[in-house]
């Protein structure tokens, strides 16, 4: 991949000035990917995963990233520039916050997502600039409306348990495709896994499609930005096992309601 990018850069250096852009270099020697993954994460679980006592994480699902299913850091010569998304800052801070690291470090999280995933997503004309990548990600987040969908389905943070299959089936009934649901495995003092991440997948023409299919290989563990403060992280998200799952309340909230799909913690498999 790097050799192809270097070759494209060399060819551009021999061409007329202005005819080559970072996106055109990428498309000359691109690592083809088949789908995009819109990744939402639940901030209270992110805090638990990162081993970080977040003071006041958002009480709604936020964006982790928009990831092509193949390739990482596809164009290291294409730097992140915060000024290119200044007009998006109010929405970025609200819907794509750095949960683990409070302001002013949010831009480091966005830089990580651009460097690792955005430079690969830029194979598409609709995502072939930093502004387009973050703008379209916000558009997809609003279009999916995961927070509203959960509310309508009666799936709420609670002290009671849900069944993973029920959550997947409920989301599939709304979106018409099967999502991927990821959890933190239970620690020694926990009875069940913890809901952490919801992935919804798109084709290259940005149509929804199933995140998995029969015979697909096991999914890799969830990816996330490294902690810049050097602290040791907690357990890593992985695809949820069939069975009960906890959907934790945000810090400071009282006892939650059952929700339509809730399960009593003393009988998690009923």
Question: DSSP letters of 195-263?
Answer: EEEEEEEEETTS-EE-S--TTPPPPPPP--PPPTT-PPP-PPPEEPPSSEEE-PPPTT--PPP--TT-B
Structure tokens at 77: 């010569």
Name the catalytic one among 40, 41, 64, 101: 64
Is 64 catalytic? The answer is: yes
Catalytic one of 40, 49, 91, 113 = 113
Q: Are 119 and 75 in contact (CB under 8 A)?
A: yes
Annotation marks residue 117 as catalytic: yes
Active site residue 112: no
CA distance 208 to 8: 32
Of the listed 40, 41, 101, 117, which one is catalytic?
Answer: 117
Between CA 198 and CA 63 the distance in angstroms is: 10
- Point out the residues that are catalytic: 64, 113, 117
């Amino acid at each position: 991949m790097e050799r192809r990018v270097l070759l494209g850069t060399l060819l551009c250096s021999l061409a007329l000035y202005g005819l080559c852009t970072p996106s055109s270099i990428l498309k000359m020697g691109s690592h083809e990917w088949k789908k995009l993954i819109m990744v939402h994460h639940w901030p209270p679980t992110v805090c638990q995963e990162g081993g970080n006592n977040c003071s006041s994480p958002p009480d709604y699902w936020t964006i982790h990233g928009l990831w092509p299913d193949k390739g990482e850091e596809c164009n290291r010569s294409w730097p992140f520039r915060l000024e290119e998304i200044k007009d998006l800052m109010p929405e970025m801070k609200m819907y794509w916050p750095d949960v683990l690291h409070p302001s002013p470090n949010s831009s480091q999280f966005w830089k990580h997502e651009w460097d690792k995933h955005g430079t690969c997503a830029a194979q598409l004309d609709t995502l072939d600039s930093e502004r387009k990548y973050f703008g379209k990600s916000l558009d997809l987040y609003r279009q999916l409306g995961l927070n509203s969908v959960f509310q309508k389905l009666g799936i709420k943070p609670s002290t009671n348990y849900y069944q993973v299959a029920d959550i997947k089936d409920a989301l599939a009934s709304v979106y018409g495709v099967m999502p991927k649901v990821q959890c933190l495995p239970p620690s020694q003092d926990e009875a069940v896994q913890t809901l952490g991440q919801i992935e919804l997948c798109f084709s290259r023409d940005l149509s929804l499609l199933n995140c998995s299919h029969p015979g697909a290989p096991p999914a890799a563990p969830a990816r996330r930005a490294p902690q810049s403060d050097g602290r040791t992280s907690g357990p890593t998200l992985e695809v949820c096992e069939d069975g009960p799952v906890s959907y934790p309340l945000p810090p400071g909230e009282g006892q939650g309601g059952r929700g339509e799909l809730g399960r009593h913690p003393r009988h998690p498999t009923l």
